[in-house]
Amino acid sequence: MANTETALKDAMTSVEGALGAALVDYTSGMALGTIGGGKELDLNVAAAGNTDVVRAKARTMEMLGLKDEIEDILITLGTQYHLIRLMRGRGNNGLFLYLALDKARANLAMARHQLRRIEEQLEV
């Protein structure tokens, strides 16, 4: 089992095109850990903003009466992918992994696969 720091380092090294990663508590909007980012990508702002995205999607699913779980949410920008992976199991409800990718270098299918693998190994 990996801790937060190890898991985030793994995301940055094992996912081609990774620009930044965070583990976020979407009940509070706070990042529990971040790596990467920079001037153009403030991961604490991204954590708070993507918390709103997760909450909005959960509300919409509830209003629609969908009895399913969100695996991940993809936001496609002109030059980037933003991938949000909700964590499940072992008391991890309320957390998500966030990964920003350079669209020109990233393989989205592999990024989703790696993020799922990291989620399975992460122990918070």
Quickly state the pLDDT bin for 9 (edges 50, 70, 90): very high
For residue 91, is pLDDT > 60?
A: no
pLDDT at 55: 93
Question: Model's pTM, two decimal places?
Answer: 0.92
The pLDDT tens digits for 28-58 are 999 999 999 988 899 999 999 999 999 999 9
Mean pLDDT across 62-79: 94
Closest CA to 46 of 59, 56, 36: 36
Confidence label for 123 from pLDDT (cuts 50, 70 and 90) = confident
CA-CA-CA-CA torsion sign (26, 94, 25, 77): negative
- Whether 72 contacts 96, CB under 8 Å: no
